[in-house]
Amino acid sequence: MFGPSYPIARQGQEQTPLVLRNILSYVSAMSIRPILIHPDPRLKKVCAPVTDISRGLQKLADDMLETMYDAPGIGLAGPQVGKMQRFFVMDVSAKETEPEPRVLINPEITWTSEEVNTYEEGCLSIPGIYENVTRPAMVRMRFLDIDGKQQEEEFGGMAATCAQHELDHLDGKLFIDYLSAIKRGMITKKMKKLKKERSRE
Ligand code: NI
């Protein structure tokens, strides 16, 4: 997910995600992965649960965090880099504070508030498009962290919106699916054009 139309740029070595510490016994440079752009059939699929938190997955999560910071964005889900598994990364910390990289594996919603919030959402797979989406203002999620430990956490504010937006990706759902069919059609047309232009470059 993009930030609410302001960029959260965090680049440079001092910003190395903390999850890197979890990668023991080898050191490898992180790399930026290409992000799939809508429309793409992989963005419409329901992802499979993660069954093994392997080093490969930890490396991929680090790559995804780097890719997200570079974009810049505040959330990125497995299918957006072509990995059809149920996990996403996010960092909704404020620009001026320390980064708070998170990896949520096999996330499930265990509670949502009745109160709702409307945020202007964007998506790294739908660049340049921002629309208001209304979702529960608070949400509790159960998930595995990058060490395979089960966690349950309550998210509010931007984190609640971001976590729900990313969880949607794991079910093949995009934020434009909350818009009218006409609006969605226009956005899809725009994205098709963008992809065509990019493929010519
Ligand atoms: Ni997204």
Q: Known catalytic residues?
A: 166
What is the distance in A from the centroid of ligand 1 to the CA of 20?
23
* Residue 9 Cα to ligand 1 middle (Å): 17
Q: Average of pLDDT values for 180-190? A: 98
Q: Is a pLDDT exceeding 80 seen at residue 13?
A: no
- In whole angstroms, how far apart are CA 70 and each of 3, 32, 40, 66? 13, 8, 22, 6
Length of the chain: 201
Distance set, CA 144 to CA 46, 53, 152, 177 (Å): 19, 9, 9, 27
Could you give the angle at the alpha carbon of 176 between the alpha carbons of 82 and 173, nearest 5°?
A: 45
**Interval 165-176: pLDDT, tens:** 999 999 999 999
- What is the average pLDDT across 112-133? 97
Q: What is the whole-number distance in angstroms between the Cα of residue 86 and the centre of ligand 1?
A: 14
Distance, in Å, from the CA atom of 165 to the CA atom of 118, rounded to the nearest integer, reads 12
Instruction: Identify the helix (H) or strand (E) that includes residue 166.
Output: helix 157-170
pLDDT band per the 50, 70, 90 thresholds, residue 201: confident
Task: Considering only residues 8 and 200, tell me which one the structure prediction assigns the higher pLDDT.
Answer: 200
Q: What is the mean pLDDT of residues 63-72?
A: 95
CA 16 / ligand 1 centre spacing (Å): 22
Query: What's the whole-number average pLDDT of the chain?
Result: 89
Distance from residue 92's CA to the centre of ligand 1 (Å): 14
Q: Return the pLDDT at 154.
A: 98
Q: What CATH fold (topology level) applies to the domain 17-200? A: Peptide Deformylase (3.90.45)
pLDDT at res. 29: 72
* Mean pLDDT, residues 97-118: 96
% residues pLDDT > 70 (the chain): 87
- Mean pLDDT over 151-160 rounds to 97
Higher pLDDT, 89 or 3: 89
Average pLDDT over residues 88-95: 92
**Ligand 1 centroid to 24 CA: how many Å?**
30
**Residue-wise pLDDT tens digits, 21-44:** 444 334 457 899 999 999 999 999
- For the cut 60, the answer to whether the pLDDT of residue 20 exceeds it is no
